[in-house]
Amino acid sequence: MAEVQALAGKRMVSYFRLLEKEKAELVPLQGDSDMSFKRSSKSTTTKSGNISTSAGLTAEIDQTFYEGISKVSDEFYDAILEDKVVEYWLVNLDRVNDQGKFWAIYARAKVTEDKQSYKGDSTAERSPKMEVIGTPRRGYLTLSDYDQDMLAYAFRGLDKVTDTPKEDGTDGNGVAYEKSDHTKDTVPTNTTTDTNQGGNA
């Protein structure tokens, strides 16, 4: 049996953009990234035994980064002040498929809180919180319309979406998880991927 490799938190990096056709960008000077999934259930007792029913999935994202003059920083303000939908990727730099694309979780969300800390003896810090719309999608991407039901969106890669979105997991140079043989995922041989760039690794 192959040894299971532990994943380093610092190798999970976050990309972000408003739900527009601009290229996604790395969250600048990022700190911790937290994504949580929750599906509550209810048990009903009957004469024949218990019946368990599940509620819908809820997902939340917490992202911290140090404040700087950047497009992403400004867009987090736009997102909460103007109530805009955002796109968010959590990319695993230590997992690639047989095409050399990086594994990622992709979600559309609303920014519900943006806590800012401006202490006199430390760097200014931001801590946005996001509530995910619908179900996050897994897929693969290259670092470099809503469906009829806006909750059933397809995976997207980071690149600029051109022409009419196909919504099949290939927009932005992506590959949907369901359309890829994830049993062939490997650790990339180039472990010096520059996470400060949004271009090809």
> What's the rounded Cα separation, in Å, for the pair 58 and 39?
6
> What's the rounded Cα separation, in Å, for the pair 91 and 71?
20
> What's the rounded Cα separation, in Å, for the pair 30 and 126?
9
> What's the rounded Cα separation, in Å, for the pair 47 and 64?
50
List, for residues 74-111, the tens digit of each pLDDT value.
Answer: 999 999 999 999 999 999 988 999 998 989 999 999 99
User: Residue 99: how many CB atoms within 10 A of its CB?
Assistant: 11
Pick 184 or 3 by higher pLDDT.
Answer: 184
Residues 6 or more apart in contact with residue 179 via CB below 8 angstroms: 169
For residue 175, which of 153, 157, 199 has the smallest C-alpha distance? 157
Architecture (CATH level 2) of domain 9-38+54-184: Roll (2.30)
Mean pLDDT calculated for residue range 126-130:
95
pLDDT of residue 151: 39
Give me the chain's average pLDDT, please.
83
pLDDT of residue 153: 66
pLDDT of residue 148: 34
For the cut 60, the answer to whether the pLDDT of residue 196 exceeds it is no
Q: Is the pTM for the entire model greater than 0.85? A: no
User: Residue 187: how many CB atoms within 10 A of its CB?
Assistant: 11
> What's the rounded Cα separation, in Å, for the pair 99 and 58?
32
Residue with tokens 């400060």: 196
The domain limits of the chain are 9-38+54-184
List, for residues 135-172, the tens digit of each pLDDT value.
Answer: 999 999 988 733 233 335 677 888 988 777 777 788 89
**Contact 158/86 with Cβ under 8 angstroms?**
no
Residues 6 or more apart in contact with residue 24 via CB below 8 angstroms: 15, 16, 17, 87, 89, 158, 172, 198
75 φ, ψ to 5°?
A: -70, -30
Residues 6 or more apart in contact with residue 164 via CB below 8 angstroms: none
